[in-house]
Amino acid sequence: MPQEFSDRLKALPPYLFKELDRVRDEVRARGVDVIDLGVGDPDRPTPGHIVEALKRAAEDPKNHQYPVYSGMNAFRDVVAAWYKRRHGVELDGATEVCSLIGSKEGLAQFPLAFLNPGDVSLVPEPSYPVYRSGTLFAGGVSHYMPLLAKNNYLPDLDAVGEDVLKKAKIIYVNYPNNPTGASAPEEFYVRLVAFAKKWGLIVVSDAAYSEVTWLPGPHKSILEIPGAGDVAVEFHSLSKTYNMTGWRVGWAAGNATLIKGLGLVKSNVDSGVFQAVQLAGMAAIEGPQDCVAAMGRLYEERRLVLVEGLARAGIEVLKTDHTFYVWATVPRGLKSAEFSSLLLEKAGVVATPGNGFGPSGEGYARFALVQEVPRLQEAAGRLAKLKF
């Protein structure tokens, strides 16, 4: 008897990074020395004090049972204290914070709590694909807001028609931005909160890269904006800040009703975050932060090396002080996919075609700074030889 995928699964495009892995492995199998700057997975290990905290917690039998669905009280209180310390925001850990098995699962499951079939999500593009897939799984419809260079990669809220806004329930934003690396000024968040209140929208702010910077202070949190607590929820991850992508731990914070809805979905589909991992996460948040600052400086150094090579090749990039991504303009006459294929075939360098993040990404490519400086110097030298 043939088995058939559901319509919602058929509607999904191929997952971008899975396809990248396939093509990369094919080229590597031919003996090419591939330098992979595709997937944004930090290459440095998790700091030692966090690993040691996990070891201690994993040896404690009381952490071997089911965790609390919404997260340990202690973990949520530590997150609330972090917001107070880092952003000056007062949160109630018990009602305004929920632990996540990484922010990706929270972003994917959040629409299940608040979208009905046919409801609209306002989704920026280019963007992280999960905003679209989460909306689709909830039976919702994505309305795309192009992020264009002429608008500093901020969505043009005025361009969304009233007919769309009357059906919309959620608006997604992501700053510092993946894939572009762009940041958002405070005045944008002020306007966004007012816009959300006017149209009855939930603001979902993905802040996974807020700590990946070489600037002295953090990127603005939407929760700092007066009135944001009425409409907004922010998703955060320890993955990129502390090189913990494989650990799968993060949080959602903000409006208590939004947090409660997400928690109700999670209690029905997962069993929470392993308590030992939450305890290690607490050690990360409360422990020394010199490791975070050091990674920021390293990403700045790596960026300068790669950008110099791209410049010698005649490729322009967006200047940014956040994330470990370089958003590059594809040379005239090439499409994004053609450019990425050419880099792989001619230089053995993996870059993500920008159109994989949405139609407005056509004409761009994303490079992730996830190789050590000598490998980036090698990549820069190979790219420079292409002379676009």
pLDDT tens-digit map of 168-220 = 999 999 999 999 999 999 999 999 999 999 999 999 999 999 999 999 888 99
Residue that is written with structure tokens 């939407």 in the block: 222
pLDDT above 90 for 70: no
pLDDT tens-digit map of 327-359 = 999 999 999 989 998 999 889 999 999 999 999
Q: What is the pLDDT of residue 137?
A: 95
Which of 164, 244, 218, 154 lies closest to 191 in space, CA to CA? 154
CB atoms within 10 A of CB 7: 8
Using CA atoms of 356, 357, 359, 360 in order, give the dihedral in degrees to the nearest 10.
Answer: -130
Q: Point out which residues pair with 233 in neighbouring strands.
A: 204, 254
Q: What is the pLDDT of residue 30?
A: 83
Q: Rounded to the nearest 5 degrees, what angle is found at the Cα of 274, between the Cα atoms of 256 and 132?
A: 55
CB atoms within 10 A of CB 181: 24
Number of Cα atoms under 13 Å in the Cβ half of residue 366: 29
CA distance 186 to 175: 11
Q: Which domains does the chain have, with CATH numbers?
A: 7-45+290-386 (3.90.1150.10), 48-286 (3.40.640.10)
Q: What is the pLDDT of residue 23?
A: 75
pLDDT tens-digit map of 29-61 = 888 899 999 989 999 999 999 999 999 999 999
In the numeric block, which tokens belong to residue 130?
Answer: 């999960």
Band of pLDDT at residue 386, cut at 50, 70 and 90 = confident
